[in-house]
Amino acid sequence: MNKSLRYIAILAILPLFTAGMGTDYFTDADAIKGKGVGTSKYGSGTDVCGLQLCSEIPGGKAAWIAEQGKTTPVAPVTEDDEHEVKDAHMKHEEHEEKVTEADLGSVLRLSRANVPATIPMHQGYYDGGEVFFIITDSSDPTHADIITQNQGWKVELAPLLKNAPDDALSKTYMFVNGIEGGGVHGFQGEVFTSTPTQEDMYSALTSHVHVSWNDDTTPRVLDSDAMIMDAADNGEITLTEVDVVLNMPQIIWPEGQMMVKEDKTLTDEMPYGGGQVLDIDTEEMTVTFIAHRGWGPDGRTIYYIVTDATPNGPAEMMGVVSSPTSASLIANSAAVDLFQFKNGLKGSGPLGFQAGIAAGSPGDANYSPMWRIFMTGWENPEDAKLLETIDDLNAFKEAGLIDIGIARPMDSDHIVNCPFIDPFQ
């Protein structure tokens, strides 16, 4: 079957693409045979019903289709169907327009590629002013469980964060007794030592110090680093460094806040830039982010938000906080690889092509919210296929079909804080 006919055959079975693209349409399948492509049960060719495998739904695909109000099953493509398509193509070839890469990409664009994710905010302090922030990840399971229970929203365990160098961390004080309040441990709000205004010092990754009021003292609210130091010098409090790193991106700080997107209409085709926040509600203490859909290492669906990045150029493009301190993670194990696409199939990725693939997912030992970005490009974009797993990437790279290189926008180290979350919790 020649290339034009193959495109026509693809268009004849468009409904099947909502359930994934089968390996029958990999024109270079022989070149990568035996190299581990699609080894996951979630890989290419799997029947997916919404966000689940059809096999996981009682009654299977037919039941799911009926539930969606689509009672007409999709008929499989037979050899007779292919012959009919071929005949039609031969009769009208002079009138057919060539199917472009953009046309094919629109077929393969993920559904629910961008969805709202409402996350609880916490209130703390910096230099006497209020800070509103979220907590998404913890290097320590105990703190992950405590905060998850307290805020009613899951904090992911990210053990690799404990490997972050001091240069990539800011310090936060957490109170373990004293004045009751909305802090992580049930007492007054946390105190930060920097905000995004102090760009060269700020990091969403925080080491933290427990603050406890000593006996025979009268607790009061301490709302700055200076007040805490004075109270420690006076013997009122005891400071204890804790070997835990939390991801605590700031949403509002005394001199600013994260950009709120002007056009709040979410579509699968919406542009990636212009802000990642849809709404900030300090009365309900919530912030709503755009959660972007992608692939985990084994083809699982994942969603992530974007809170900050380095260097400044990509941060401004995405509408997030600039965090130069994150550059120190470029060769550190606290950051994990995320593969984005710079050409190939059009889709909902940050550069307008297919969604990215991460080297780790929540629940994996190598999960981290801090991502080292690699750009993936097809040697011949017209031959692009849908890639879903790390195995896919490795196999196609080994076959010489794609090139993968570390991203260095503005000739700088590039790290993005992309916590993986469940937007439907």
3-state secondary structure 169-218: CEEEEEECCCCECCCCCCECCCEECCCCCCCCCCCCEEEEEEEEECCCCC
* % of the chain surpassing 90 pLDDT: 70
Assigned token pair, 169? 């961390």
In whole angstroms, what is the distance from residue 108 CA to residue 184 CA?
43
* Alpha helices for 129-184 (secondary structure H): 141-151
Distances from the Cα of 393 to the Cα of 2, 6, 199, 402, 412, angstroms: 26, 24, 35, 8, 25
* Chain Cα centroid distance, residue 353: 16
Confidence of residue 52 (pLDDT cuts 50, 70, 90): low
Candidate from 89-93, 123-127, 144-148, 370-374 with smallest mean pLDDT: 89-93
Placement of tokens 């913890």 in the chain: 138
Candidate from 118-132, 177-191, 259-273, 358-372 with smallest mean pLDDT: 259-273
Beta-carbon neighbour count of residue 2 at 10 Å?
A: 9
Higher pLDDT among residues 55 and 83, named by residue = 55
When pLDDT is averaged across residues 153-177 and rounded to a whole number, the result is 97
- Residue 265 confidence (pLDDT): 92
Global pTM reads: 0.76
Higher pLDDT among residues 14 and 205, named by residue = 205
In whole angstroms, what is the distance from residue 168 CA to residue 402 CA?
32
pLDDT reading at 76 higher than 60? no
pLDDT reading at 277 higher than 70? yes
Whether the upstream peptide bond of residue 311 has omega within 30° of 0, thus cis, is: yes
pLDDT reading at 5 higher than 80? no
Burial class (CB in 10 A: 0-12, 13-18, 19+), 68: exposed
